[in-house]
Amino acid sequence: MQGDKVALVTGSSSGIGFETSLMLARAGFNTYASMRNLEKSKNITEIAKKEKLPLQVVQLDVNNDGSVKDALVKILKADQRIDVLINNAGYGLFGSVEDTSIEEIKAQFETNFFGVVRVTQQVLPLMRRQNSGTIVNVSSVGGRIGLPALSAYHSTKFALEGLSESIAFELEPFGIRVVIIEPGVIRTNILNSSSSAKKALDPKSPYFSLSQKLNDNFKSMMESELSSPPEEVAKVILQAVTSENPQLRYSVGDDAANLIHARKNMPDKEFRKMIMKNFSK
Protein backbone atom coordinates (compact mmCIF):
# COMPACT_ATOMS: atom_id res chain seq x y z
CA MET A 1 0.00 0.00 0.00
CA GLN A 2 1.20 3.47 -0.85
CA GLY A 3 0.30 5.33 2.34
CA ASP A 4 -0.05 9.05 1.76
CA LYS A 5 1.26 9.13 -1.80
CA VAL A 6 -0.78 11.30 -4.15
CA ALA A 7 -1.42 10.60 -7.84
CA LEU A 8 -2.94 12.82 -10.52
CA VAL A 9 -4.25 11.21 -13.70
CA THR A 10 -5.41 13.21 -16.72
CA GLY A 11 -8.06 11.97 -19.14
CA SER A 12 -9.77 9.73 -16.57
CA SER A 13 -13.32 9.66 -17.89
CA SER A 14 -12.75 6.43 -19.82
CA GLY A 15 -10.25 3.91 -21.14
CA ILE A 16 -6.67 3.91 -19.89
CA GLY A 17 -7.10 6.92 -17.58
CA PHE A 18 -10.24 5.45 -16.03
CA GLU A 19 -8.64 2.07 -15.29
CA THR A 20 -5.36 3.62 -14.14
CA SER A 21 -7.10 5.91 -11.66
CA LEU A 22 -9.00 2.98 -10.17
CA MET A 23 -5.93 0.75 -10.03
CA LEU A 24 -3.83 3.40 -8.31
CA ALA A 25 -6.58 4.07 -5.79
CA ARG A 26 -6.96 0.35 -5.11
CA ALA A 27 -3.21 0.21 -4.49
CA GLY A 28 -3.56 2.91 -1.84
CA PHE A 29 -2.63 6.06 -3.75
CA ASN A 30 -4.73 9.09 -2.87
CA THR A 31 -5.85 9.49 -6.46
CA TYR A 32 -7.20 12.50 -8.33
CA ALA A 33 -8.97 11.33 -11.46
CA SER A 34 -9.13 14.41 -13.63
CA MET A 35 -11.21 15.04 -16.72
CA ARG A 36 -12.32 17.94 -18.87
CA ASN A 37 -16.03 17.18 -18.60
CA LEU A 38 -17.26 16.30 -15.10
CA GLU A 39 -20.54 15.06 -16.57
CA LYS A 40 -18.57 11.92 -17.50
CA SER A 41 -17.53 11.27 -13.90
CA LYS A 42 -20.59 9.30 -12.72
CA ASN A 43 -19.21 5.83 -13.43
CA ILE A 44 -15.84 6.24 -11.75
CA THR A 45 -17.38 8.10 -8.81
CA GLU A 46 -19.89 5.32 -8.18
CA ILE A 47 -17.16 2.64 -8.28
CA ALA A 48 -14.95 4.63 -5.90
CA LYS A 49 -17.83 5.14 -3.49
CA LYS A 50 -18.87 1.49 -3.60
CA GLU A 51 -15.32 0.25 -2.98
CA LYS A 52 -14.50 3.09 -0.54
CA LEU A 53 -11.46 4.06 -2.57
CA PRO A 54 -9.25 7.10 -1.89
CA LEU A 55 -10.29 8.65 -5.20
CA GLN A 56 -11.64 12.09 -6.01
CA VAL A 57 -12.67 13.52 -9.35
CA VAL A 58 -11.32 16.93 -10.32
CA GLN A 59 -12.02 19.08 -13.35
CA LEU A 60 -8.94 19.61 -15.50
CA ASP A 61 -8.74 20.61 -19.14
CA VAL A 62 -5.15 20.12 -20.30
CA ASN A 63 -5.70 22.75 -23.00
CA ASN A 64 -6.51 25.49 -20.48
CA ASP A 65 -3.90 27.16 -18.23
CA GLY A 66 -6.50 28.32 -15.73
CA SER A 67 -8.11 24.90 -15.48
CA VAL A 68 -4.76 23.23 -14.79
CA LYS A 69 -3.84 25.78 -12.12
CA ASP A 70 -7.25 25.53 -10.43
CA ALA A 71 -6.98 21.73 -10.26
CA LEU A 72 -3.52 21.87 -8.71
CA VAL A 73 -4.60 24.46 -6.16
CA LYS A 74 -7.41 22.13 -5.09
CA ILE A 75 -5.08 19.14 -4.82
CA LEU A 76 -2.37 21.01 -2.91
CA LYS A 77 -4.90 22.51 -0.51
CA ALA A 78 -5.99 19.00 0.44
CA ASP A 79 -2.74 17.04 0.22
CA GLN A 80 0.20 19.45 -0.12
CA ARG A 81 2.01 17.11 -2.54
CA ILE A 82 1.87 15.18 -5.81
CA ASP A 83 3.99 12.05 -6.04
CA VAL A 84 2.81 10.66 -9.36
CA LEU A 85 1.60 12.45 -12.49
CA ILE A 86 0.05 10.36 -15.27
CA ASN A 87 -0.19 12.40 -18.48
CA ASN A 88 -2.82 10.39 -20.33
CA ALA A 89 -5.27 12.84 -21.92
CA GLY A 90 -5.28 12.69 -25.71
CA TYR A 91 -7.15 11.74 -28.84
CA GLY A 92 -6.51 10.39 -32.32
CA LEU A 93 -6.86 12.22 -35.61
CA PHE A 94 -7.28 10.25 -38.83
CA GLY A 95 -6.27 11.77 -42.14
CA SER A 96 -3.34 12.26 -44.47
CA VAL A 97 -1.20 15.35 -43.99
CA GLU A 98 -2.58 16.83 -47.23
CA ASP A 99 -6.14 16.37 -46.02
CA THR A 100 -5.48 17.77 -42.54
CA SER A 101 -5.69 21.52 -42.01
CA ILE A 102 -3.11 23.45 -40.02
CA GLU A 103 -5.85 24.22 -37.49
CA GLU A 104 -6.65 20.53 -37.05
CA ILE A 105 -2.97 19.67 -36.61
CA LYS A 106 -2.52 22.48 -34.08
CA ALA A 107 -5.53 21.23 -32.11
CA GLN A 108 -4.04 17.72 -32.08
CA PHE A 109 -0.74 19.06 -30.74
CA GLU A 110 -2.51 21.30 -28.22
CA THR A 111 -4.01 18.30 -26.43
CA ASN A 112 -1.57 15.46 -27.07
CA PHE A 113 1.68 17.40 -26.68
CA PHE A 114 1.24 20.88 -25.24
CA GLY A 115 -1.31 19.52 -22.77
CA VAL A 116 1.43 17.29 -21.35
CA VAL A 117 3.86 20.21 -21.21
CA ARG A 118 1.26 22.45 -19.55
CA VAL A 119 0.43 20.04 -16.72
CA THR A 120 4.04 18.92 -16.24
CA GLN A 121 5.34 22.47 -15.94
CA GLN A 122 2.82 23.18 -13.19
CA VAL A 123 3.69 20.02 -11.23
CA LEU A 124 7.49 20.19 -11.50
CA PRO A 125 8.18 22.96 -8.93
CA LEU A 126 6.31 20.93 -6.34
CA MET A 127 8.15 17.69 -7.17
CA ARG A 128 11.49 19.50 -7.06
CA ARG A 129 10.71 20.81 -3.57
CA GLN A 130 9.80 17.26 -2.54
CA ASN A 131 12.97 15.99 -4.21
CA SER A 132 10.88 13.11 -5.49
CA GLY A 133 8.18 12.20 -7.99
CA THR A 134 7.34 10.09 -11.01
CA ILE A 135 5.99 11.45 -14.29
CA VAL A 136 4.38 8.92 -16.61
CA ASN A 137 3.70 9.99 -20.18
CA VAL A 138 1.27 7.75 -22.03
CA SER A 139 2.63 7.63 -25.54
CA SER A 140 1.92 4.84 -28.01
CA VAL A 141 3.66 2.34 -30.21
CA GLY A 142 2.80 5.17 -32.62
CA GLY A 143 5.51 7.18 -30.89
CA ARG A 144 8.09 4.76 -32.27
CA ILE A 145 6.66 3.86 -35.68
CA GLY A 146 4.44 5.70 -38.16
CA LEU A 147 1.33 4.43 -39.91
CA PRO A 148 -0.32 5.96 -42.97
CA ALA A 149 -3.24 8.38 -42.52
CA LEU A 150 -2.31 9.18 -38.93
CA SER A 151 0.43 11.70 -39.61
CA ALA A 152 -0.71 14.36 -37.12
CA TYR A 153 -1.29 11.84 -34.32
CA HIS A 154 2.08 10.17 -34.82
CA SER A 155 3.79 13.55 -34.90
CA THR A 156 2.43 14.35 -31.44
CA LYS A 157 3.55 11.00 -30.04
CA PHE A 158 7.03 11.23 -31.61
CA ALA A 159 7.31 14.69 -30.04
CA LEU A 160 6.20 13.32 -26.68
CA GLU A 161 8.89 10.63 -26.84
CA GLY A 162 11.57 13.23 -27.48
CA LEU A 163 10.29 15.47 -24.70
CA SER A 164 10.24 12.56 -22.28
CA GLU A 165 13.78 11.45 -23.10
CA SER A 166 15.09 14.97 -22.67
CA ILE A 167 13.38 15.81 -19.40
CA ALA A 168 14.45 12.46 -17.95
CA PHE A 169 18.00 13.87 -17.97
CA GLU A 170 16.88 17.26 -16.64
CA LEU A 171 14.87 15.89 -13.73
CA GLU A 172 17.03 13.00 -12.51
CA PRO A 173 19.18 15.28 -10.28
CA PHE A 174 15.99 16.32 -8.45
CA GLY A 175 14.87 12.78 -7.70
CA ILE A 176 12.15 12.89 -10.36
CA ARG A 177 11.74 9.90 -12.66
CA VAL A 178 10.21 9.88 -16.13
CA VAL A 179 8.46 6.88 -17.66
CA ILE A 180 7.09 6.42 -21.19
CA ILE A 181 4.23 3.97 -21.74
CA GLU A 182 3.81 2.64 -25.29
CA PRO A 183 0.55 0.72 -25.73
CA GLY A 184 -0.39 -1.04 -28.92
CA VAL A 185 -4.03 -1.43 -29.91
CA ILE A 186 -6.10 -1.15 -26.74
CA ARG A 187 -9.75 -2.08 -26.32
CA THR A 188 -11.00 1.40 -25.41
CA ASN A 189 -13.37 3.86 -26.96
CA ILE A 190 -10.43 5.62 -28.65
CA LEU A 191 -12.21 5.47 -31.99
CA ASN A 192 -15.20 7.19 -30.42
CA SER A 193 -12.98 9.89 -28.95
CA SER A 194 -11.01 10.20 -32.17
CA SER A 195 -11.89 12.36 -35.10
CA SER A 196 -11.10 12.56 -38.78
CA ALA A 197 -9.83 15.54 -40.69
CA LYS A 198 -12.75 17.11 -42.53
CA LYS A 199 -11.20 16.64 -45.95
CA ALA A 200 -10.38 13.01 -45.11
CA LEU A 201 -14.13 12.27 -45.00
CA ASP A 202 -14.60 13.43 -48.59
CA PRO A 203 -14.83 10.42 -50.96
CA LYS A 204 -13.14 12.59 -53.57
CA SER A 205 -9.96 12.73 -51.50
CA PRO A 206 -7.11 10.81 -53.18
CA TYR A 207 -6.40 9.34 -49.72
CA PHE A 208 -10.01 8.41 -48.89
CA SER A 209 -9.62 4.71 -49.60
CA LEU A 210 -6.40 4.45 -47.57
CA SER A 211 -7.92 6.27 -44.58
CA GLN A 212 -11.04 4.10 -44.62
CA LYS A 213 -8.99 0.90 -44.80
CA LEU A 214 -6.87 1.97 -41.86
CA ASN A 215 -9.96 2.89 -39.83
CA ASP A 216 -11.60 -0.44 -40.62
CA ASN A 217 -8.44 -2.33 -39.71
CA PHE A 218 -8.26 -0.59 -36.33
CA LYS A 219 -11.87 -1.53 -35.62
CA SER A 220 -11.14 -5.16 -36.52
CA MET A 221 -8.01 -5.26 -34.37
CA MET A 222 -9.81 -3.77 -31.39
CA GLU A 223 -12.36 -6.57 -31.59
CA SER A 224 -9.74 -9.30 -31.98
CA GLU A 225 -7.32 -11.06 -29.64
CA LEU A 226 -4.57 -8.80 -30.97
CA SER A 227 -5.79 -5.96 -28.78
CA SER A 228 -5.24 -5.57 -25.04
CA PRO A 229 -7.73 -4.36 -22.41
CA PRO A 230 -6.99 -0.97 -20.83
CA GLU A 231 -6.47 -2.74 -17.51
CA GLU A 232 -3.23 -4.17 -18.94
CA VAL A 233 -1.91 -0.65 -19.47
CA ALA A 234 -2.97 0.31 -15.96
CA LYS A 235 -1.08 -2.70 -14.54
CA VAL A 236 2.11 -1.65 -16.32
CA ILE A 237 1.72 1.93 -15.09
CA LEU A 238 1.26 0.71 -11.51
CA GLN A 239 4.33 -1.51 -11.88
CA ALA A 240 6.37 1.45 -13.13
CA VAL A 241 5.33 3.93 -10.44
CA THR A 242 5.91 1.43 -7.61
CA SER A 243 9.30 0.26 -8.89
CA GLU A 244 12.45 1.52 -7.19
CA ASN A 245 14.22 1.59 -10.56
CA PRO A 246 11.64 1.94 -13.33
CA GLN A 247 12.56 1.62 -16.98
CA LEU A 248 12.35 4.64 -19.23
CA ARG A 249 10.06 2.77 -21.65
CA TYR A 250 7.40 0.11 -21.27
CA SER A 251 5.54 -1.33 -24.25
CA VAL A 252 2.12 -2.86 -23.63
CA GLY A 253 0.71 -5.64 -25.79
CA ASP A 254 2.34 -8.21 -28.04
CA ASP A 255 1.44 -6.12 -31.09
CA ALA A 256 3.40 -3.15 -29.75
CA ALA A 257 6.41 -5.28 -28.81
CA ASN A 258 6.44 -7.00 -32.20
CA LEU A 259 6.18 -3.73 -34.15
CA ILE A 260 8.95 -2.07 -32.14
CA HIS A 261 11.17 -5.14 -32.60
CA ALA A 262 10.47 -5.22 -36.35
CA ARG A 263 11.21 -1.50 -36.72
CA LYS A 264 14.52 -1.94 -34.95
CA ASN A 265 15.65 -5.00 -36.90
CA MET A 266 14.17 -4.70 -40.40
CA PRO A 267 15.50 -2.54 -43.23
CA ASP A 268 13.29 0.52 -43.83
CA LYS A 269 12.07 -0.75 -47.19
CA GLU A 270 10.99 -4.12 -45.79
CA PHE A 271 9.37 -2.54 -42.77
CA ARG A 272 7.31 -0.20 -44.96
CA LYS A 273 6.16 -3.17 -47.05
CA MET A 274 5.06 -4.96 -43.90
CA ILE A 275 3.14 -1.92 -42.63
CA MET A 276 1.31 -1.43 -45.93
CA LYS A 277 0.49 -5.12 -46.11
CA ASN A 278 -0.91 -5.29 -42.59
CA PHE A 279 -2.57 -1.91 -42.15
CA SER A 280 -3.85 -0.87 -45.58
CA LYS A 281 -4.93 -4.10 -47.23
Average pLDDT estimate for 40-45: 97
Does residue 41 sit within a domain? yes
Angle at 267 between CA 262 and CA 272, to 5 degrees: 75
The answer to the question of residue 1 being in a domain is no
Residues spanned by the domain of 204: 6-279
Q: State yes or no: pLDDT of 225 exceeds 80.
A: no
Residue 150 or residue 280, greater confidence: 150
Residue 187 lies in a domain: yes
* Residue 32 located in a structural domain: yes
Tell me the pLDDT tens digit for each residue of 113-140: 999 999 999 999 999 999 999 999 999 9
Catalytic residues: 153
Identify whether the C-beta of residue 112 lies closer than 8 Å to the C-beta of residue 88: no
Give 228-243 pLDDT, tens digit per residue. Answer: 889 999 999 999 999 9
Q: Residue 192's pLDDT is what?
A: 59
- Which H helix or E strand runs over 59? strand 55-59
**Which of the given ranges, 167-171, 227-231, 275-279, has the highest pLDDT on average?**
167-171
What's the pLDDT score for residue 191? 58
Q: Decide if 215 is inside a domain.
A: yes
Per the structure, the count of domains in the chain is: 1
Q: What is the pLDDT averaged over residues 201-212?
A: 91
The pLDDT-based confidence of 3 (bands split at 50, 70, 90) is low
Q: What is the pTM of this model?
A: 0.94
Please report whether residue 82 resides in a domain.
yes
Least Cα distance to 98 among 221, 226, 204, 255 occurs for 204
Residue 108 pLDDT greater than 70, yes or no: yes
Quickly count helices (H) and strands (E) in the chain: 10, 9
Q: Is the pLDDT of residue 189 over 60?
A: no
* CATH value at residue 254: 3.40.50.720
- What does 1-46 look like in DSSP terms, one character per residue? --TT-EEEESS-SSHHHHHHHHHHHHTT-EEEEEES-GGG-HHHHH
Does 12 have pLDDT greater than 90?
yes
Half-sphere exposure of 129 (CA within 13 A, CB side): 7
